[in-house]
Structure 1
């Protein structure tokens, strides 16, 4: 009997993972994002789809840990000084947006014919934006660390803080007998005590604990400790009547200055991703299609009215507080849905008798549908929510410049390549489009100009017409090729040197008659392999011979490909025989007397492996 139950549980887990593995890649491939894929998978396997799961609430309760861990990771990025710097956004922008949205959404509930208490609960539940969905979408776009992303994070944090007073307010609104005043003050004291205990533990206990565990050199124990911190902080806040997610966030902030921050984040990340995906699956399962079918007119009208009204409120508040049109619209679209804390609020209100079971089901369906629609609305309105241009304060545009060498791109490759030229006092002009990098380079004495090397007018302004050499050091394959095409057509007097992405790109650049090209990782990888041989006991001379042979073979094969040969012809040339000839045996620490022969064999074997990859 127990074996049958265990097998049934395992089948459920496999079905859940299988639905996610199949659905999410399809939705990402279609450009719809992973969130919508998880929601669709949950709907498919849930009680209103194939019916493989009958209790989505049980999954949601476990999967809420994904949201908890997500906020812990965000907290690790929020140093106390940085969090203090966001105080105006958290309490100013956050309170303005929430008050405005609450008033408007409560009014919509009254207009739909609901009593004021029910309208307020429904409106507040919708005001609490989905932290999980918004943070996931921001993370996929890489916007969390950007200024407009930080404003959204600040608002989400303030909304998460609201769940505590809202639950207390629900208790006051309840028609059921209320607890004595002493009990309320006891609850407040317990909450403050839990918060103080977490802060004390974070400041004086966490870092010493991780030092002791690191000295033990047990990786699995470090992972267990990281989970203990997250779940312990969440549990402490829950016991204190506060938000689990806020407890985890605060624990992350307290560890943000720790030397173990990156290790902890790496240990938590796999669990966070799995549980957050499980949360979205649970939300998809929670969509009661029976309720939607029975009250579809009310629910559809509610979703549209609440999402549009909330988006308009967010946009107006953002514009009044001097955000650009694009930033305000982007924030409005991202935050127009209800969130996971609405489920907690609605459940508490139903238990307290403020709303009945039917209203709870309808409001839950409205919130779930709004969460499912958010990825679609962000996708549909993407052309209208383009980012505003970054500030060019302190950055000079490339205009009227001249120099004997023009370097396009000042990333890692360009910085190293420029040092030889600057050491010989060459007249060098450097341009790039990364404003933050330009400003950072200025602090170290580098004069970098802002300019897009793929534009002909910018190249003219940079003095490309007078340059003796143009070095293309950008890390974008397509952009590098475009620049080469422009330079070869318009500035024939300049020697063209290009950073290549891979062998295929190198062949393409040779086809454009560049004067010099080099694969960005070839020489460094060759030196790395040479060093590895020396560490294995091979003499310095023998290791150098092997590296030189590989370099020579690669050059010969490259010439053959340029001349029109194919990959098999290149291999026959490397092995000195036909393509079907047996490959040499792997290289193992050659003896001195057979150094040349073994080096050649090692070079051929290594080159064959490289060909298979490239």
Structure 2
């Protein structure tokens, strides 16, 4: 414990790290350069070789290791197994050719210079790897993740990360201290394969039900702790088997990607990942000794130029052999023209066996750091250069899409309405918008409510609408209107503030669940506030369609403002009477029949849970019963003139009415 007034020793360095990284990163963003370059520069300035403001380098490097694990975890979560299979030719084909060809070229060059082949292979391993962290950041900033150039680069990077396992196992052989020779390597590779398979199988069995239970608590804090525990736990288990903990975190993320909670998990963990990733890039910059390189600057420039030439040539060849066209190959090649962060892992392993970059000892270590930092910083410029050259190359007609070509399935690309939260008001509004053919995206923390919204045909993103990961998943460019209808006025004001900052041009409509603080809501740049005390959702729906400039489709509804509430006789025995709610009839006829252009119903039934109007079981469509079965809405009432009864499909029971439809509010 610290005495009163005593400042902890670690606080000053941490403040210096965060402040400098934030300021320099902001400066680079202002000049339209990715902030990673600023983080690297901050590390150079704060490191022991310059200002020396950070004395505890070990703590920084430990935090950086966590940053790498969380970064690869989020990458894995965004790269599902299904999506990975669609770019498998880039992973297995392009990645294999790039790594093998780069290592062979470097080994050949060192042989021509009279160096031992082992030094050439080791240096080739170091150069073959590219920076997964920086390339993915650059691709995301350019919005090229789903483009052929981005997919080719990412596929190659994934193979490189997997190849690290083999490289680590081969380093003892290069150092002349292998245990068991080829048999030992084969045994180690087999063990690694078994461990990775076991991790994937167990994680797939355990993670989905665990996340489902945690998500039902609707606690962001508990959910975040669970996600971090999974990421670091799987990384720890794989490290015990001699496999890169970063690769273990990547596998955990890939398993998570198959879960319906992946977007929610990303939204919760992303702020934490960003902080630790920034520390990682600062730690890389701290390794550079600018003073010691004053006399070696010419070697740094020559080595950096050589690395760029070699990597562009080999990466271009690796992608070009897949017949994806010269522009794609050129753009991907320049994105991969740097040395990666995991080369430092190999460098550390190699030092234990007497191997150093280019066989130059300590001087080679500094040369590797300098070239790596320089090319990492130059990656955005190299990517832009590659894009410029790619646009000047003739595009060859692409072959017909095949299995594993990387193409993404097309979805509904129409403009849509975002409903923040799902509850009684949003449910009715969602139905009203669907009748008017307006696509809807719903955000909610509750798995049960998410499943219900999906059952109604809406796009659902699990998580809070104010989280960056959720907003990314939503694709805010297609959102033309935001509705906040399931929050109190205070909560709605906070949500509106955040969403207006993200999408300043998108109108926001709020219907708070309590008495609205109208002045506060309008200060949050809300376009329209709907009075909470109105008993129906139709005015809210009309407000939304008015703002969207869409004509209303009432489908012949005789009284669109009349809310229907069936009141069962108290003596009626039905276990599902509590599902009856005030509902707004969706149409004056069977909703599905009208959609299909039919009017062949015999009798009409009204769902007392959501207001769906369907045809009876004697009608050809039988849409009332089908709707009840699909959405688990058990009770329908007859809307035929003079009939006041309802029917429960689950209990197969008739419910008598306590009053008549004319008495309904």
Q: TM-score range by the shorter chain?
A: 0.5 to 0.7
CA drift at 1:11: 0.5
* Number of equivalenced pairs: 435
1:116 matched to 2:117? The reply is yes
Name the residue aligned to 2:340: 339
CA drift at 1:272: 1.3
CA distance in 2, matches of 1:371, 1:294: 22
CA distance in 1, matches of 2:160, 2:268: 28
1:297-312 matched pairs, under 5 angstroms: 297-312=298-313
Name the residue aligned to 2:73: 72
Distance 1:218 1:353, change over 3 A: same
Q: Deviation per CA, 1:191-243, whole angstroms, max 9, x where unpaired?
A: 34432331222121111112222233332111100001111111111111112
Name the residue aligned to 2:85: 84
Name the residue aligned to 1:325: 326
CA distance in 2, matches of 1:315, 1:183: 35
Name the residue aligned to 1:289: 290
CA drift at 1:315: 1.9
Asked whether the equivalents of residues 350 and 360 of structure 1 are also in contact (C-alpha less than 8 Å), the reply is: no
Distance 1:69 1:330, change over 3 A: same
Name the residue aligned to 1:383: 388
Distance 1:101 1:239, change over 3 A: same
Name the residue aligned to 2:406: none
CA distance in 1, matches of 2:138, 2:184: 41
Name the residue aligned to 1:247: 248
Name the residue aligned to 2:367: 362
Distance 1:247 1:383, change over 3 A: same
Q: Deviation per CA, 1:361-420, whole angstroms, max 9, x where unpaired?
A: 3333332322222233334555334499899999xxxxxxxxxxxxxx96449xxxxxx9
Asked whether the equivalents of residues 109 and 123 of structure 1 are also in contact (C-alpha less than 8 Å), the reply is: no
CA distance in 2, matches of 1:157, 1:62: 23
Name the residue aligned to 2:192: 191
Asked whether the equivalents of residues 13 and 53 of structure 2 are also in contact (C-alpha less than 8 Å), the reply is: yes
Name the residue aligned to 1:18: 19
CA distance in 1, matches of 2:224, 2:266: 10
CA distance in 1, matches of 2:66, 2:27: 26
Asked whether the equivalents of residues 325 and 398 of structure 2 are also in contact (C-alpha less than 8 Å), the reply is: no
CA drift at 1:190: 4.8
CA distance in 1, matches of 2:130, 2:300: 18
Instruction: Report the more deviating stretch, 220-229 or 137-146.
Output: 137-146
Asked whether the equivalents of residues 73 and 249 of structure 2 are also in contact (C-alpha less than 8 Å), the reply is: yes
CA drift at 1:263: 1.4
CA distance in 2, matches of 1:5, 1:163: 45
Distance 1:295 1:6, change over 3 A: same
CA distance in 2, matches of 1:252, 1:149: 20
Distance 1:391 1:64, change over 3 A: farther
SS in 1 for 2:16: helix
Distance 1:301 1:225, change over 3 A: same
CA distance in 2, matches of 1:93, 1:240: 28
Distance 1:412 1:178, change over 3 A: closer
CA distance in 2, matches of 1:376, 1:163: 27
SS in 2 for 1:315: helix
CA distance in 2, matches of 1:108, 1:93: 22
CA drift at 1:351: 0.7
Name the residue aligned to 1:373: 378
Asked whether the equivalents of residues 153 and 335 of structure 2 are also in contact (C-alpha less than 8 Å), the reply is: no
Name the residue aligned to 1:235: 236
Is there any run of 5+ residues in structure 2 with no aligned partner, and where? 401-412, 418-432, 437-476, 481-503, 519-527, 548-665
CA drift at 1:99: 1.6
CA distance in 2, matches of 1:184, 1:319: 32
CA distance in 1, matches of 2:309, 2:56: 32
Instruction: Report the more deviating stretch, 380-389 or 84-93.
Output: 380-389
CA distance in 2, matches of 1:215, 1:200: 24
Name the residue aligned to 1:525: 509
Q: Deviation per CA, 1:37-93, whole angstroms, max 9, x where unpaired?
A: 111111111122211124656523421322322222222233323222322221111
1:391-402 matched pairs, under 5 angstroms: none
Cα RMSD for the two superposed structures: 4.0
Distance 1:56 1:534, change over 3 A: same
Name the residue aligned to 1:406: none
CA distance in 2, matches of 1:141, 1:98: 25
Name the residue aligned to 2:354: 353
SS in 2 for 1:525: strand
CA distance in 2, matches of 1:240, 1:346: 20
CA distance in 2, matches of 1:343, 1:88: 28
Asked whether the equivalents of residues 338 and 370 of structure 1 are also in contact (C-alpha less than 8 Å), the reply is: yes
Distance 1:538 1:49, change over 3 A: same
Asked whether the equivalents of residues 66 and 272 of structure 1 are also in contact (C-alpha less than 8 Å), the reply is: yes
Name the residue aligned to 1:169: 170
CA distance in 2, matches of 1:475, 1:204: 36
Name the residue aligned to 1:59: 60
Q: Deviation per CA, 1:154-210, whole angstroms, max 9, x where unpaired?
A: 111100011111111111122347469997677556534432331222121111112
Distance 1:85 1:253, change over 3 A: same
TM-score (norm 1): 0.63
